[in-house]
Amino acid sequence: MGNAKPETGAFFPRDRSLHPKAFTPDYKTSVVRSPQKALLSLNNTISEITGPVFGHEILGERDNDLILNFAKPGESALGERIIVHGRVLDERGRGVSGALLEFWQANAGGRYRHAKEGYIAPLDPNFGGCGRTITDDDGTYSLRTVKPGPYPWPNGVNDWRPSHIHFSVFGHGFAQRLITQMYFEGDPLIPLCPIARTITDQAALDQLIAPLDMANTIPMDARAFKFDIVLRGRRSTLFENRMEGN
């Protein structure tokens, strides 16, 4: 713990023009999910801001290792082994410590371990598809997993989702949860995806694409991708549950 006083001033304003429109007919579910009336801004209540909170003791030893955390002893998940790492940053580029990150994804074949999954790709008996970690003092995090496969979805006749990993960023207050997703550099499905196409600003979309990071690749083991998550401000990462700004 440091001696710095907590910041209490207003946040930097955010450029909301970077956000995709809530109503985007090419992305079918936005038709029923988009607001029908003008948005209202409501202040958080004391109970939302102060609790309940998560505890560091809830993390298991392998929670950030999706290759092993669901696998049988002596076995591991199938697929391209990768490391995803980065930092959670505030609007000034300073690391946010103690943030809980949750992540979930499809397996290497593009299938989720979900009761209502409709894709015919096989399940991997050694892959659960979810994990979590807490950021270090400088906002650093890392996870080990297999690269998720693309999958078809019933949005259009032949729509496919690019390979992606979902991220949930959970702060110390109950209402401080933000959700986004990470794509992979060079994926040809990104510009074809109806969800990705709702982001009309290329620079904003690029914030969701993790570049290959050969400097942190482990030889003969796993490639690495770097994905920073920026909270608030003009350069904020796009969050699915805060389209109006965060």
Does an H or E element contain 31, and which? helix 29-33
Say whether 161 is catalytic. Answer: yes
Tokens of 140: 């650093």
Whether the CA torsion 41, 43, 47, 53 is positive or negative: it is positive
Residue indicated by tokens 């600003």:
201
Rounded CA separation 167/25 (Å): 25
Say whether 166 is catalytic. Answer: yes
The residue from 111, 132, 164, 235 that is catalytic is: 164
- Contact between residue 131 and residue 165 where contact means Cβ atoms under 8 Å apart: no
Say whether 151 is catalytic. Answer: yes
Say whether 119 is catalytic. Answer: no
The residue from 14, 19, 132, 151 that is catalytic is: 151
55 half-sphere exposure, CB direction, 13 A CA radius: 2
Whether the CA torsion 91, 95, 97, 103 is positive or negative: it is positive
Question: Count of CB atoms within 10 A of residue 95's CB?
Answer: 17
Residue indicated by tokens 């801001």:
49
The residue from 62, 81, 85, 166 that is catalytic is: 166
The residue from 14, 19, 27, 112 that is catalytic is: 112
Letter string b/e over residues 145-167, b meaning 16 or more CB atoms within 10 A of that residue's CB:
bbbbbbbbbebeeebebbbbbbb
Q: Which residues are catalytic?
A: 112, 151, 161, 164, 166
